[in-house]
Amino acid sequence: MRTSRRAKLEKIIGYEFRDRSLLDTALTHKSYCYPNKIGSNERLEFLGDSVLQLCVGEYLYLKYPDKDEGLLTRIRSNTVQRDTLAHCARLLKLGSLIKLGPSERNTGGSDKDSILEDAFEALIGALYLDGGLDVARSFVIKCLEDVMCDKRSGFQDSKTRLQELAQAQGAQIEYECMTIEGPPHNRRFTVCVKKDDMVLGTGKGRTKKEAELRAARVALARNDERGNVGVSKKD
């Protein structure tokens, strides 16, 4: 990794690596390894996943002492899901730093959720090995605290919350994929959520699930103060 780009990432993270080979390995995808005879980020991703689960679990345990195990598990699950971690990786611009083999590079691997998620978890593993648990914990909380503290959704994802509101009112909602754009490796989906013939919200995303979540989030934001699932006008 070029020194200037590495330094920029370290500045964003707020941590300077003592062993910079750990950072390089964290951002090396397996597709790059065989022809170059170096190690990939898979082992660091394995470690980082465990550290991530610990840090999120510890944070939730201390933050919400009155919440039961079942609810804390759901919050943690929503926090560490692929879409969320890939989004964090994009905010850090990890995609431009990941070393990829020609095939992955030519098919948009730098923006694939699975590759970004793995790199983000590998980065956590690298931070843990280089700086210890306190450093890794600080990074995890900095990236994910807003997700863990999002009380607006009642600790649920937007689709679940919207569905519960609709069911409570005896209403039926459905999601409709309106458009699919872009090449196979870089799709963009536009989805709307509807009650009867009324559009409650629309959303865009790299997957249908991501687009549906964003559509549901828009619908919830338009929800009136009485909690009715509905809007005064169509999109």
Q: Please state at what angle helix 208-222 crosses helix 158-168, rounded to 10 degrees.
A: 50
Assess if residue 227 is contained within a domain. no
Q: Are residues 144 and 177 in the same domain?
A: no
Higher-confidence residue of 120 and 215: namely 120
Q: Are residues 36 and 139 in the same domain?
A: yes
As annotated, the active-site residues are 49, 121
Q: How many domains does the chain have?
A: 2
From CA 147, how far away is CA 19, in angstroms rounded?
30
CATH of the domain at 77: 1.10.1520.10
Name the pLDDT band for 234 (thresholds 50, 70, 90): very low
Query: Given a cut of 90, is residue 43 above it in pLDDT?
Result: yes
At residue 111's C-alpha, the angle toward residues 109 and 114, to 5°, is: 75
Q: Are residues 170 and 146 in the same domain?
A: no
Q: What is the pTM of this model?
A: 0.69
Q: Are residues 102 and 19 in the same domain?
A: yes
Assess if residue 148 is contained within a domain. yes
41: nearest Cα among 119, 158, 132: 119
Name the pLDDT band for 49 (thresholds 50, 70, 90): very high
Confidence (pLDDT) at 168: 85
Q: What is the pLDDT of residues 116-157, one digit of tens each?
A: 999 999 999 999 999 999 999 999 999 998 878 764 444 456
Q: Are residues 8 and 43 in the same domain?
A: yes
From CA 47, how far away is CA 129, in angstroms rounded?
9
- Residue 207 main-chain phi, psi, to 5 deg: -130, 160
Q: Please tell me whether residue 18 adopts helix, strand or coil conformation.
A: coil
Query: CA–CA distance from 189 to each of 37, 81, 105, 210, 228 (Å)?
Result: 38, 19, 22, 9, 27
Q: What is the pLDDT of residues 159-206, one digit of tens each?
A: 888 888 888 888 899 999 999 988 877 788 999 999 988 999 898 887
Q: Which of 152, 180, 203 is the last residue of a domain?
A: 152
Q: Are residues 145 and 186 in the same domain?
A: no
Domain membership of residue 40 as a residue range = 3-152
From CA 161, how far away is CA 25, in angstroms rounded?
39
From CA 133, how far away is CA 170, in angstroms rounded?
48
Q: Are residues 90 and 195 in the same domain?
A: no
115: nearest Cα among 142, 152, 89, 141: 89
Assess if residue 54 is contained within a domain. yes
Assess if residue 233 is contained within a domain. no
Q: Are residues 8 and 99 in the same domain?
A: yes
